[in-house]
Amino acid sequence: MIRFKNVLFLISFLLFFLACKSTKSTYLADIDNDYLYINKDDKTIDQEIEDLIAPYREELSVEMDVVLIQNKNKIVKGSPNSTMGNWVADILHDYIDAQNIAVDFAIQNQGGLRIPTIGKGDVTAGKIFELMPFDNMLVILETDGQMVQTFCDHITSSGGWPISKGLEFTIKNQKATDILVNGNPLDLSRKYRFAVPDYVANGGSDCSFFKDLPQENLGVFIRDLIIEDVKQKGLRGEVLDIKSEKRIHG
């Protein structure tokens, strides 16, 4: 038996590719963590996938093989802190800053990052699709400090998620303590604005406490933000050089 996880990536990208040629707004936001196991002696599933992809293979290869930027050091997913998590969360925060929209911080759910590492050297568009194959959109929520405390406690109980600059806290007794927002202690009565994937805002990753909050949808896929960010850096002759930074302590 072999583990056949690239099927999900190929199918999700094909759905995205076809959606770009249509006016339908349906998109794949997430999927569970189960892998599909198949017997490598059984070619039925392989052939079905091949038949599905074959008409688009050349165009898919051209799109996926585009080198966006060079990466200096391996980028690693982990918790409670990781270079991959800091990098992605900061891209979200920086994008919002560039739109002159005020937010206090940005958070990416850990489960939304689907590969463990990005290696040194070429970073292709295909690699970013592997990192984030789902069409999650970036939304802004506004709520009080008590809800921020609840969210940070949830992140703590989940082992830690990617958080951007602007947010910092300590894990103690499975709770988030000493929460700092832009260097200031969390004020439970103050209003805060922060960005998350729409999947999270709609209650995904066990965040049902967000479901009734109004959302400001920025109308852009998070994956596209990452691609555009590294593409523009690459065009300027920059390289990715993600530094380790501890934002969740304890």
Region 26-53: mean pLDDT is 55
Q: Which helix (H) or strand (E) holds 16?
A: helix 6-19
Residue 4, pLDDT > 60, answer: no
What pLDDT digit, counting tens, does each position of 49-87 carry?
677 767 776 677 778 889 999 999 999 999 999 999 999
- Show Cβ contacts of residue 225 under 8 Å, excluding neighbours closer than 6 positions: 91, 92, 95, 138
What pLDDT digit, counting tens, does each position of 99-144 carry?
999 999 999 999 999 999 999 999 999 999 999 988 999 999 999 9
What percent of the chain has a predicted confidence (pLDDT) above 70? 80
In contact, 138 and 202? CB cutoff 8 Å: no
pTM of the entire structure? 0.80
Please report how many Cα atoms fall inside a 13 Å half-sphere around the Cα of residue 208, on the Cβ side: 1
What pLDDT digit, counting tens, does each position of 143-189 carry?
999 999 999 999 999 999 999 999 999 999 999 999 999 999 999 99
Q: What is the chain's percent helix, strand, coil content, to nearest 5? A: 40, 25, 40
Domains belonging to the chain, first-starting first, are 1-64 (no CATH), 65-249 (3.90.780.10)
Min mean pLDDT across 29-33, 208-212, 242-246 is at: 29-33
Confidence at 28, pLDDT banded by 50, 70, 90: low
Task: For Cα atoms 205, 209, 211, give the angle at the middle one, nearest 5 degrees.
Answer: 85
